[in-house]
Structure 1
């Protein structure tokens, strides 16, 4: 009788051990996926910053499509899912950062979205004279795509830049 009880206890302990091994394997997979996602996010963020840095130059290139990655407002680019099917390989600028641990370097697209006149507020009251003082303001949409350690981990980020 003791032998049978002992064998049942060994079987139960084996089942508990197998469940623990399976759980730790799942935790390892989830940690790897989280790392890939984080790498993709950081790469997309770096691409976004490089695109914004281009907009801080004293003179800007023309946004007419002659330079890859610099376009006038693209039709449909503000709709959901547009950037998932966008031709990133041919129609975007590649960063030259040399990021490690990513499958490809981040890519970005800059669109000249709108150009408008805004009131120049100097802190005074709004009157007719202050409405005549306007400044030309141009808005740019910077979209960046980063890949993580695998090409299945992709993050697309956007920012709007006022100049």
Structure 2
């Protein structure tokens, strides 16, 4: 009997090589998708961290404006353009409906801190350091501002101070308020 030799099919080898190429390509596509997703995730996280840092800067600027207003109320300033005496509610004529120099009469219908013009019109809101001689804050897009209102509660006077602080980006803003009891 003659012996037969069995030869492998050439078509079978070519099919196997095509399948392995396809598998490697699919693996590369999956790795590429994972890499792009990881880059997008880290970029998003960096943006969140940057926005939070800017919000913290704006918060600190607003807090500085509150402290500056408290000094302004107390009259503790030695600079040339400072108010000469502590702000006194008995001198009510210095408070006005137009919030000139940051001193506002309360409004029964709309709180003065909600009126956009009080923050954007020159000469209304007091700018940080104007009446206390404080050094300008670095890094912020603009210096913080404040408004002072006074109220009579029974026999006592109370000041409400509203302050707005800005971050390095001008669209980052934080508004804070505090109350200060007037000293007689």
For this structure pair, what is the TM-score category when the shorter chain's length is used for normalisation? 0.7 to 0.9
1 CA distance for matches of 2:44 and 2:100?
46
Distance across 2 between alignment mates of 1:20 and 1:155: 32
Bigger Cα displacement from structure 2, 59-68 vs 48-57: 59-68
State the TM-score, normalizing by the size of structure 2: 0.69
Match of 2:38? 20
Higher share in strand: 1
Q: Which has the higher contact order (CA 8 A, sep 6+)?
A: 1
2-side partners of 1:160 and 1:76: how far apart?
20
Higher helix share: 2
Q: CA deviation at 1:115?
A: 4.8
Output one character per residue of 1:68-92: Cα deviation in whole Å (capped at 9) or x when no partner.
Answer: 111222343448xx52624313211
The TM-score normalised by the length of structure 1 is 0.77
Among residues 114, 118, 127, which one is paired with 1:83 in the alignment? 114
- Whole-Å Cα distance in 2 between the matches of residues 76 and 45 of structure 1? 27
Q: What secondary structure sits across from 1:3 in the alignment?
A: helix
Q: Secondary structure at the match of 1:68?
A: helix
Cα distance change of structure 1 residues 84 and 12 upon mapping to structure 2, 3 Å threshold: farther
Deviation at 1:5, TM superposition (A): 1.2
CA RMSD of aligned residues (A): 2.2
In our comparison, the structure showing a higher alpha carbon Rg is 2
Specify the alignment match of 2:74 in structure 1.
56
